[in-house]
Amino acid sequence: MDSPGADALRWWASARVEAPLLPLQRLRMRTVAGANSVGFLLCGSFCAFVFIGTRYMLQVLGYSALKTGLALLAASRRVVLDQP
């Protein structure tokens, strides 16, 4: 995991080199911004699903930690297998 200072240094260096890996102008494109927004929303919703689903299974349904983990394994497996 990078620190904010390392990220800022990477952005600063990327703006000043002759041929950056990712030109910063691409991040201003509407389609790229939309795709990034959708990706953040999907990731956030899945994380919320795992957190709330775990709490529900443990406290409401009375599952053990092992049974809860096995129940969530099916959803996690689909996410991993559906990756291109």
Which pLDDT tens digit goes with each residue over 33-76? 899 899 999 989 988 988 999 999 999 999 999 999 998 888 77
Alpha-carbon distance 54 to 18, whole Å? 48
**Among 26, 23, 45, 25, CA closest to 35:** 26
Instruction: Tally the C-alpha atoms within 13 A of residue 35's C-alpha that lie toward its C-beta.
Output: 7
The label of the residue with tokens 């102008």 reads 25
The secondary element (H helix, E strand) that includes residue 80 is helix 65-81
pTM over 0.95? The answer is: no
Q: Longest Cα pair distance anywhere in the chain, in angstroms?
A: 59
